[in-house]
């Protein structure tokens, strides 16, 4: 199967530009997550790929074939792209089985039924085949929506905030079920989410989006440890921004010195994850402004000189507010950006 | 969200939009014709200004009396049924809407006869107290009583919907803030339902102004009887149109009230969660009184008049060929009218999504009395009758015109349930169908229509009932000798052959009762967020 690619996609509603030159590549058999805050244009990008909306500029391609582009718009029903909607959009007048079989109308009856049931089996809902969607729980509805999208064995399946309607424990359960169902197909999957933890957990490939643009793509690990900007770093979790002076490829702060290869001398910004701060007798002194217990870890606010930072330390040896501690910085969790 | 601006299946196709525009145009054309006819029609002295003044005064008084009568009785019944538990409540909840099956003129025949000088009520009273009690129903207060009994269900239904739909949370909030159930009703539920009650009263007043059969039989001269007389007695379309202008003005005001009341519903449904309404258990004499009150309303609106008509009918052999012919024509017109109206209303619903202009135009038609609608179609009717030679073709053209009049008047009524049905359809359902390989037309056929099917049926039933009961418009527009049940009843009644009139009148009630029961039960079980 060929890869789906989006190149320089643009979509505006009047003066508001929802997608502003976004590029993305979806590989068969891999799960990609598109992470961004509410209103950053990620759902619009998803609908552009599915053909539910027209591009204002750029191209959506399947291999060499143009699906959307200047003067070209293949309607959604001909794209072979599955879609799981945020509200699931199950058809209330059809049973669960008929919902799943909806897209299989070209198959003979017996085969259609077998395929629908096999899909339901995969999401462990075969026993609810005759039920109507309204009678199912939220998690079950989500699985039916997934089974329905996968039944046509599409080249790609797009999921728009598929877990947002579910609560905590159920969410983790449905997430794992979704992952295993997606892994069972050779389709490329793209999951849109605003939940960083969810994206890091699920993605083979991660794309960070903000204000209509893709900030960074890469493995979750790369994106987390090697953000390309402060914005990209903040999308994936808490990040301290500490003003630093760089000279000779090293950034000096009151908390310690970290290498800054390739950053020109002068003012710069150090991005440090809260867990980059280690309590270490060999480190530099810092004052604990406040400490808040949070289970396995304690969140402390540290000051050293005129710099301040949020740090996460193991609760077992957490300091008290007012104490002076000595800390080191873990270089692998820090990045220096030119100011 | 920015969904409205997207190229999605929700954005109507150009031809659907065109269809919606055409439907709205159809509804509005007769009204424009009335205005043109009134302004440019040849002046004649068929109706003196003094006479017109008297008609207008009678209409206004009647409207005011019915507003109070139907408003208070209907709203009280709704409050009792929604907020309390008493014996028979479950049955009465939907049975209270059943008088909608009875045309107002059927009630007028029955009550005029019951309260006649020689009728059973006054005879019994005379025997009891020795003197005659002048309970003459052939008077303005009498007509107000009859029309209130016929039209209270409009208020009952809208008020009940308002009490049921949203006040649960607000009521509970009021309780936690220290109000007793009664105070919570007076301070929260009633103010919240007030716009809806006003809307229901507006509907009842619209029907009052549109009524011809009942007031004509009870010898009360109103604007609508004036319109019919101006045409059928004086043959003056221009005079009929001028009277119609007054009715149109009143209709526009009422429509405004009704729309504003409907807007008020917006703040009701704050919680989508389904919860049992906190009802108050009535016991002892209070429970008895509540049951008695609701039963009395139902009796006055349907059971007593229908029963008396049935009793009268037993005393006469029906003229079966005429009756059956009229029944066939009524049903034929009803079914055809329902089909055409639902088709046009569907065009309006699917094509006008997002835009409200077309539906507003169509609702103007709904507020227009049938007699006025007919006057607006007189000019095209005259052209048709002179242009189409031959009796059969003329008949076809005449029937088509009648169906047009019904559709123009009832399109907005049919639109309402269809719109509500489409609200069940989220835009992502249509999109889901598209990503599952359906074309736009396929998505409409396999997803949108099946989901809206129940709503289409409801709309059709609503139209059917109204067409069965319609009299003045049919009287004006019908081809020569083309009697419907309502026209037949009116003919017999104006010849004082009440026993004969009872047959077609009761036939209408029986035919309309089935759809009304279906509709009423449907409304009774549907609550926002309720498990289906």
Report the CATH number that the domain containing residue A108 is assigned in CATH: 3.40.50.300
Q: Are residues B310 and B400 in the same domain?
A: no
CB contact at 8 A, B171 and B126: no
Residue A314 has pLDDT above 50, yes or no: yes
Q: Could you say which of A207, A229, A251 is where a domain stops?
A: A229
Which residues on chain B are in Cβ contact (under 8 Å) with A14? Answer: 5
Residue B131 has pLDDT above 90, yes or no: no
**Phi and psi dihedrals of A296, rounded to 5?**
-60, -30
In DSSP notation, B52-108 reads HHHHHHHHHHHHHHHHHHHHHHHHHHHHHHHHEE-TTHHHHHHHTTGGGGS-HHHHH
Which contiguous run of DSSP H or E holds residue A284?
strand A277-294
Residue B13 has pLDDT above 80, yes or no: no
Q: Are residues B247 and B359 in the same domain?
A: no
pLDDT of residue B262: 65
Give the mean model confidence (pLDDT) for residues B421-430.
80
Give the C-alpha separation, B450 to B430, whole Å.
12
Least confident span in A89-98, B318-327, B393-402: B393-402
- Preferred mutation among B4, B437, B442 to probe A, highest tally of A CBs within 10 A: B437
CB contact at 8 A, A79 and A156: no
pLDDT grade for B256, boundaries at 50, 70 and 90: confident
Q: Are residues A89 and A212 in the same domain?
A: yes
B519 domain residue, yes or no? no
pLDDT grade for B273, boundaries at 50, 70 and 90: very low
- Interface touch B433/A152, C-beta < 8 Å: no
Q: Are residues B17 and B67 in the same domain?
A: no
pLDDT of residue B141: 94
Domain membership of residue A246 as a residue range: 240-331
Residue of chain A whose Cα is closest to the Cα of B447: A91
pTM to 2 decimals? 0.73
Contacts of A216 (CB under 8 A, 6+ apart): A206, A207, A208, A223, A227, A228, A229, A232
Give the C-alpha separation, A206 to A192, whole Å.
10
**CATH assignment of the domain containing A274:** 2.40.50.140
- Interface touch B431/A149, C-beta < 8 Å: no
Residue of chain B whose Cα is closest to the Cα of A13: B5
Q: Are residues A163 and A30 in the same domain?
A: yes
When divided into structural domains, chain B yields a total of: 2
More confident position, A22 or B528:
A22
pLDDT of residue B386: 72
Residue of chain A whose Cα is closest to the Cα of B454: A93
Residue B383 has pLDDT above 90, yes or no: no
**Phi and psi dihedrals of B280, rounded to 5?**
-100, 125
Contacts of A56 (CB under 8 A, 6+ apart): A10, A11, A12
Q: Are residues A94 and A152 in the same domain?
A: yes
Give the C-alpha separation, B76 to B79, whole Å.
5
Residue B32 has pLDDT above 70, yes or no: yes
Please choose, from the candidates A252, A189, A229, A200, the residue with its C-alpha nearest in 3D space to the C-alpha of residue A28. Answer: A189
pLDDT grade for B56, boundaries at 50, 70 and 90: very high
As given in the structure block, the two tokens for residue B57 are: 């005064």
Give the mean model confidence (pLDDT) for residues A317-335.
91
Mean of pLDDT over chain B: 83
More confident position, B220 or B173:
B220
pLDDT grade for B235, boundaries at 50, 70 and 90: confident
pLDDT in tens, A260-305: 888 899 899 999 999 999 998 988 999 999 999 989 899 999 999 8
- Interface touch B436/A103, C-beta < 8 Å: yes
pLDDT in tens, A216-240: 999 999 999 999 999 999 999 999 9
- The 3-state DSSP class for residue A259 equals strand
Least confident span in B42-56, B140-154, B233-247, B365-379: B42-56
- Interface touch A92/B424, C-beta < 8 Å: yes
As given in the structure block, the two tokens for residue B525 are: 């079980």
Give the C-alpha separation, A38 to A194, whole Å.
7
Which contiguous run of DSSP H or E holds residue B299?
none
- ipTM for the predicted complex: 0.76
- Preferred mutation among A92, A137, A150, A152 to probe B, highest tally of B CBs within 10 A: A92
Query: Which residue carries 């199912």 as its tokens?
Result: A136
B523 domain residue, yes or no? no
B514 domain residue, yes or no? no
Give the C-alpha separation, B170 to B166, whole Å.
8
As given in the structure block, the two tokens for residue B167 are: 């006040």
B527 domain residue, yes or no? no
Give the C-alpha separation, B530 to B528, whole Å.
5
CB of B429 within 8 Å of a chain A CB? The answer is yes
Q: Are residues B281 and B393 in the same domain?
A: no
Q: Are residues A180 and A284 in the same domain?
A: no
Give the C-alpha separation, A77 to B431, whole Å.
9
CB contact at 8 A, B414 and B458: no
Across the interface, of B6, B439, B532, the residue whose CB is closest to A77 is: B439
As given in the structure block, the two tokens for residue B124 are: 């019994």
Least confident span in A82-91, A135-144, B164-173, B515-524: B164-173
As given in the structure block, the two tokens for residue B178 are: 């220290």
Domain membership of residue B458 as a residue range: 9-43+317-496
Least confident span in B193-197, B411-415, B502-506, B522-526: B522-526
Q: Are residues B91 and B35 in the same domain?
A: no
As given in the structure block, the two tokens for residue B149 are: 């009994």
Q: Are residues B344 and B441 in the same domain?
A: yes
pLDDT of residue B458: 83
When divided into structural domains, chain A yields a total of: 2
More confident position, B451 or B407:
B407
pLDDT grade for B266, boundaries at 50, 70 and 90: very low
- Interface touch B432/A148, C-beta < 8 Å: yes
pLDDT grade for B175, boundaries at 50, 70 and 90: low
Q: Are residues B173 and B294 in the same domain?
A: yes
Q: Are residues A173 and A266 in the same domain?
A: no
Residue B46 has pLDDT above 70, yes or no: no
Which residues on chain A are in Cβ contact (under 8 Å) with B435? Answer: 50, 52, 76-77, 79, 81-83, 149
A235 domain residue, yes or no? no
Residue B310 has pLDDT above 50, yes or no: yes
pLDDT of residue A126: 92
Contacts of B391 (CB under 8 A, 6+ apart): none
More confident position, B94 or B179:
B94
Q: Could you say which of A229, A253, A278 is where a domain stops?
A: A229
Q: Are residues A320 and A214 in the same domain?
A: no
CB of B431 within 8 Å of a chain A CB? The answer is yes
Q: Angle CA(A313)–CA(A316)–CA(A318) in degrees, nearest 5?
A: 45
Residue A253 has pLDDT above 70, yes or no: yes
Q: Are residues A64 and A123 in the same domain?
A: yes
A302 domain residue, yes or no? yes
Q: Are residues B250 and B138 in the same domain?
A: yes
B4 domain residue, yes or no? no
pLDDT of residue B395: 77
Q: Are residues B59 and B137 in the same domain?
A: yes
pLDDT of residue B25: 86
Q: Are residues B273 and B420 in the same domain?
A: no
Residue B121 has pLDDT above 90, yes or no: no
Q: Are residues A203 and A57 in the same domain?
A: yes
Q: Are residues A213 and A319 in the same domain?
A: no
| Strand-pair category, A31-35 with A205-210 | parallel
Q: Are residues A255 and A317 in the same domain?
A: yes
Give the mean model confidence (pLDDT) for residues B138-142.
93
Which residues on chain A are in Cβ contact (under 8 Å) with B529? Answer: none
Q: Are residues B21 and B162 in the same domain?
A: no
Q: Could you say which of A229, A257, A280 is where a domain stops?
A: A229
CB count within 10 Å of CB A304 equals 20
- Preferred mutation among A42, A45, A93, A165 to probe B, highest tally of B CBs within 10 A: A93
Give the C-alpha separation, B193 to B261, whole Å.
9
CB of A137 within 8 Å of a chain B CB? The answer is no
Give the C-alpha separation, A321 to A289, whole Å.
5
**CATH assignment of the domain containing B453:** 1.10.3720.10
pLDDT of residue B217: 94
Q: Are residues B228 and B324 in the same domain?
A: no
As given in the structure block, the two tokens for residue A164 are: 């947002």
pLDDT of residue B263: 61
Q: What is the DSSP letter of A195?
A: -
CB contact at 8 A, A324 and A289: no
A106 domain residue, yes or no? yes
B525 domain residue, yes or no? no
Q: Could you say which of B279, B297, B314 is where a domain stops?
A: B314
Q: Are residues A129 and A170 in the same domain?
A: yes
């Amino acid at each position: 199967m060929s890869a789906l690619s989006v190149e320089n996609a643009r979509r505006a509603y009047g003066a508001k530009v929802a997608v502003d030159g976004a590029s993305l590549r979806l590989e068969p058999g891999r799960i990609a997550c598109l992470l961004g805050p509410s209103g950053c244009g990620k759902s619009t990008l998803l609908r552009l790929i599915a053909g539910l909306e027209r591009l204002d500029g750029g191209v959506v391609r399947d291999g060499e074939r143009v699906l959307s582009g200047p003067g070209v718009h293949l309607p959604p029903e001909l794209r072979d792209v599955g879609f799981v909607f945020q509200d699931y959009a199950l058809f209330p007048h059809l049973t669960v089985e008929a919902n799943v079989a909806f897209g299989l109308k070209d198959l003979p009856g017996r085969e259609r039924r077998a395929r629908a049931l096999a899909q339901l089996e995969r999401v462990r809902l075969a026993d609810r085949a005759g039920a109507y969607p309204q009678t199912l729980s939220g998690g079950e509805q989500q699985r039916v929506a997934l089974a329905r999208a996968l039944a046509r064995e599409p080249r790609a399946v797009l999921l728009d905030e598929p877990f947002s309607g579910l609560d905590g424990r159920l969410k983790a359960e449905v997430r794992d079920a979704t992952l295993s169902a997606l892994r069972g197909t050779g389709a490329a999957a793209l999951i849109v989410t605003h939940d960083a933890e969810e994206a890091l957990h699920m993605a083979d490939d991660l794309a960070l989006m903000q204000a209509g643009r893709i900030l960074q793509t890469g493995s979750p690990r790369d994106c987390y440890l090697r953000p390309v900007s402060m914005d990209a770093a903040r999308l994936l979790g808490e990040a301290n921004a500490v003003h630093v002076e760089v000279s000779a490829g090293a950034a000096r702060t009151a908390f310690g010195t970290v290498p800054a290869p390739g950053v020109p001398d002068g003012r710069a910004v150090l991005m440090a994850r809260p867990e980059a701060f280690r309590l270490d007798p060999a480190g530099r002194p810092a004052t604990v402004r406040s400490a808040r217990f949070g289970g396995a870890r304690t969140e402390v606010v540290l000051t050293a000189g005129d710099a301040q930072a949020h740090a996460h330390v193991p609760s077992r040896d957490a300091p008290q507010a007012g104490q002076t501690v000595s800390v080191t910085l873990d270089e692998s969790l820090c990045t220096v950006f030119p100011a | 969200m920015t969904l409205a601006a997207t190229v999605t299946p929700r954005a109507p196709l150009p031809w659907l939009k065109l269809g919606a525009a055409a439907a709205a145009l159809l509804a509005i054309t007769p009204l424009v014709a009335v205005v043109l006819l009134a302004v440019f029609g040849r002046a004649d002295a068929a109706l003196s200004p003094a006479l017109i003044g008297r008609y207008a005064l009678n209409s206004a008084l009647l409207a005011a009396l019915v507003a109070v009568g139907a408003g208070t009785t209907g709203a009280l019944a709704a409050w009792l049924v929604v907020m309390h538990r008493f014996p028979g409540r479950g049955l009465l909840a939907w049975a209270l809407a059943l008088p909608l099956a009875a045309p107002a003129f059927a009630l007028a025949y029955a009550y005029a006869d019951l309260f006649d000088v020689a009728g059973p009520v006054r005879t019994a009273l005379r025997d009891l107290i020795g003197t005659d009690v002048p309970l003459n129903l052939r008077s303005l207060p009498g007509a107000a009583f009859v029309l209130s009994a016929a039209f209270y269900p409009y208020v009952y239904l809208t008020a009940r919907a308002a009490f049921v739909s949203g006040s649960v949370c607000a009521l509970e909030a009021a309780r936690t803030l220290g109000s007793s159930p009664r105070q919570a009703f007076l301070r929260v539920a009633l103010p919240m339902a007030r716009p809806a009650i006003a809307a229901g009263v507006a509907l009842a007043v619209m029907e009052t102004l549109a009524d011809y059969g009942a007031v004509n039989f009870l010898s009360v001269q109103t604007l609508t009887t004036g319109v019919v007389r101006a045409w059928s007695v004086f043959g003056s379309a221009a005079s009929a149109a001028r009277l119609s202008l007054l009715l149109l003005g009143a209709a526009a005001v009422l429509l405004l009230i009704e729309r504003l009341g409907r807007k008020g519903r917006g703040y009701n449904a704050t919680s989508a969660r389904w919860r049992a309404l906190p009802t108050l258990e009535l016991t002892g004499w209070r429970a008895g009184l509540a049951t008695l009150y609701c039963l009395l309303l139902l009796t006055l609106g349907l059971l007593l008049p229908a029963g008396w008509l049935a009793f009268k009918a037993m005393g006469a052999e029906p003229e079966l060929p005429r009756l059956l012919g009229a029944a066939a024509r009524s049903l034929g017109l009803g079914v055809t009218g329902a089909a055409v109206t639902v088709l046009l209303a569907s065009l309006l619903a699917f094509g006008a999504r997002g835009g409200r202009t077309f539906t507003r135009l169509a609702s103007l038609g709904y507020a227009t009395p049938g007699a006025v609608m007919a006057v607006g179609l007189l000019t095209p009717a005259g052209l048709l009758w002179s242009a189409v030679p031959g009796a059969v073709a003329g008949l076809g053209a005449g029937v088509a015109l009648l169906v047009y009049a019904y559709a123009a008047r009832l399109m907005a009524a049919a639109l309402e349930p269809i719109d509500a049905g489409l609200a069940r359809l989220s835009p992502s359902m249509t999109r889901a169908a598209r990503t599952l390989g359906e074309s736009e037309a396929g998505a409409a056929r396999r997803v949108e229509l099946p989901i809206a099917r129940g709503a289409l049926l409801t709309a059709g039933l609503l139209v059917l009932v109204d067409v069965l009961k319609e009299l003045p418009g049919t009287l004006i527009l019908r081809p020569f000798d083309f009697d419907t049940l309502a026209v037949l009843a009116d003919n017999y009644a104006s010849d004082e052959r009440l026993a004969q009139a009872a047959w077609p009148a009761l036939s209408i009630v029986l035919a309309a009762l089935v759809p009304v029961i279906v509709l009423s039960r449907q409304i009774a079980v549907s609550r926002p967020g309720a498990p289906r």
